[in-house]
Structure 1
Amino acid sequence: MEIEHRNNITVVGDPQGRPVVLAHGFGCDQNMWRLTVPALAEKHRVVLFDYVGSGRSDPSAFSEDRYASLDGYAQDVVEVCEALDLRDAVFVGHSVSAMTGVLAADAVPERIGALVMVAPSPRYIDDEGYRGGFSAGDIDELLASLESNYLGWSSAMAPMIMGNPERPELGEELTDSFCATDPDMARVFARTTFLSDSRDDLEKVTVPTLVLECAQDVIAPRGVGAFVHRAIPGSTLVTLDTTGHCPHLSAPEATNEAITGFLAGLR
């Protein structure tokens, strides 16, 4: 199937279980979920994929016009769900993927019946009455540095994003993942990510939603999770006692416990 090749789709677990779709964030790929998959596969049909431009997706399918907005990445999600004919799936999105999940759930509500948002941020730039964690100048500087020297930017930023400096192997893994991404495609994804504003889209969410935030996160600081929680009626907010932006790697047991507990409570 064309989409299966394009997005490097992997399906594991119980084929009769409720589908769970795991979506990676910027600079990452489906391998980042390897510590979460075993916790889900016993009871669920687990679907992993790479966004076009990431991981082992088909680079010939990349279009700057399509992926210059989050709608393009959300369309990847929609097409993966359609290709596998998923129904009432639980979409687990890390970082910016939490917002692509919101868009996809609005587009195909029959296919996505619940959301898990891991370290989400609907807007990275501070605004009046809203703290995203970065000034507009910070983001301009970040994107300029990325565009002028992507590999150098990756080596500097990845350990900061990961946190947990006492475990340098985590930062090294994220650095390797960033550096394995095509720089031109990464620049598009970065601009789309860090300039996005999905705050208004949160009000459209009508499905059960779990919001997972980290106690210390330089990309999605405390307060962002609470904002997302307040904006989505009936959502559940869990603060993980961990640092960094990738709790599924740095604190997999706590992350998996929160996700499986949420799944167990779904109808």
Structure 2
Amino acid sequence: MSVRERNNVRVGGAGVDTIIFAHGFGCDLNMWRLLEPIYATRYRTVMFDHVGAGESDLRAYEVEKYSTLEGYAQDVVEIAREFGQGRSIFVGHSVSAMIGMLADLASPGLFAGHAMIGPSPCYVNDGDYVGGFSREDVDSLLRTLEGNYLGWSSNMAPVIMGAPGQPELGAELSNSFCRTDPDIAARFARATFLSDHRAELSRLTTPTLILQCDDDIIAPVAVGEYMARTLPDAEMVVIDNVGHCPHLSAPGASAEAIDAFLERRGL
């Protein structure tokens, strides 16, 4: 099976350098439909589905491999090597921001820059660290998700999306969640919400933008501030937006922040 088939890789755009877009939990590459065209006139663009999501090939799914984010990072390394040209910039939403970091650390020099949208290295509060959830919160979330995935999806998707003035986006995210195999989604959720990659942050020297919404139930501003302090070469931009998916609910503000970062860094 080819990498293209496995991850439903879509290549577009025109440019010397490449932007690789990676979706978050419960999503697929269609979540980039508003942001990708903004860059397709200047960059080669690469979008893909993580194995188990969207139109990826489910035959490639291995429980052991994808029980941790490192398994997904292995795929990202292969995608970037095969489809990237020139300098590659990795745009990762939510958990994919950490997957991109792990791919970069596994293959130094793979990316020239990262734009992390709503990232979190650890979702669980720990001492002075504010991740946004207690361990009890996460355990309850996972139990609910594993016991009634469709119910969890329909209830949580509008909360995660936010965008109170655009209810159609919450419905879209709910539908995206519901298209994902429940068992695979539950395992991906466990790998996501129980992960802790704070120790790796100090090793990522690649220039990084942290793009944060000022009201995000999944990744509070405090998480972005922690990452901005800990990453060796990072800057943080907070936009006025409710929710965890600004690439859909505020694509203009998201593109403006990413463009300014790319310009400042000569990318």
TM-score (norm 1): 0.97
How large is the RMSD of aligned CA atoms in angstroms? Answer: 1.1
Per the alignment, residue 247 of structure 1 pairs with 246
Question: Per the alignment, do residues 260 and 85 of structure 1 end up closer, same or farther by CA in structure 2, a change over 3 Å counting?
Answer: closer
Structure 2 portions without partners, runs of 5+: none
Q: Is the 8 A contact 1:226 1:237 kept in 2?
A: yes
What is the one-letter code of the residue matched to 2:198? R
Distance 1:98 1:133 in 2: 17
Q: Is the 8 A contact 1:203 1:231 kept in 2?
A: yes
Q: Is the 8 A contact 2:17 2:85 kept in 1?
A: no
Q: Is the 8 A contact 2:88 2:112 kept in 1?
A: yes
Per the alignment, residue 12 of structure 2 pairs with 12
Distance 2:124 2:84 in 1: 36
Distance 1:84 1:38 in 2: 18
| Displacement after TM superposition at 1:128 (Å) | 0.6
Per the alignment, residue 26 of structure 1 pairs with 25
Per the alignment, residue 259 of structure 1 pairs with 258
**CA offsets 1:81-122 (integer angstroms, 9 cap, x no match):** 122254531001000111011111111223211111000011
What is the one-letter code of the residue matched to 1:32? M
Q: Is the 8 A contact 1:40 1:260 kept in 2?
A: no
Question: Per the alignment, do residues 85 and 214 of structure 1 end up closer, same or farther by CA in structure 2, a change over 3 Å counting?
Answer: closer
The reply on whether 1:39 has 2:38 as its aligned counterpart is yes
Per the alignment, residue 103 of structure 1 pairs with 102
Q: Aligned runs of 1:153-232 on 2, under 5 Å?
A: 153-232=152-231
Distance 1:49 1:219 in 2: 23
Distance 1:265 1:166 in 2: 33
| Displacement after TM superposition at 1:38 (Å) | 1.3
What is the one-letter code of the residue matched to 1:2? S
What is the one-letter code of the residue matched to 2:170? G
Q: Is the 8 A contact 1:117 1:212 kept in 2?
A: yes
Q: Aligned runs of 1:66-85 on 2, under 5 Å?
A: 66-84=65-83
Per the alignment, residue 121 of structure 2 pairs with 122
Structure 1 portions without partners, runs of 5+: none
- 2:238 alignment partner, SS class: strand
Per the alignment, residue 235 of structure 1 pairs with 234
Q: Is the 8 A contact 2:16 2:86 kept in 1?
A: no
Distance 1:208 1:154 in 2: 34
Further displaced range: 76-85 or 170-179: 76-85
Q: Is the 8 A contact 1:20 1:90 kept in 2?
A: yes
Percent of counterpart pairs with the same letter?
Answer: 53
**CA offsets 1:199-258 (integer angstroms, 9 cap, x no match):** 111111111110001000000012111001111123110001111000000101000111
Distance 2:106 2:147 in 1: 36
- How many residue pairs get aligned? The number is 266
Further displaced range: 124-133 or 256-265: 256-265
Q: Is the 8 A contact 1:87 1:111 kept in 2?
A: no
Q: Is the 8 A contact 2:76 2:103 kept in 1?
A: yes
- 1:116 alignment partner, SS class: strand
- 2:229 alignment partner, SS class: helix
What is the one-letter code of the residue matched to 1:26? F
Q: Is the 8 A contact 2:29 2:48 kept in 1?
A: yes
Distance 1:265 1:203 in 2: 22
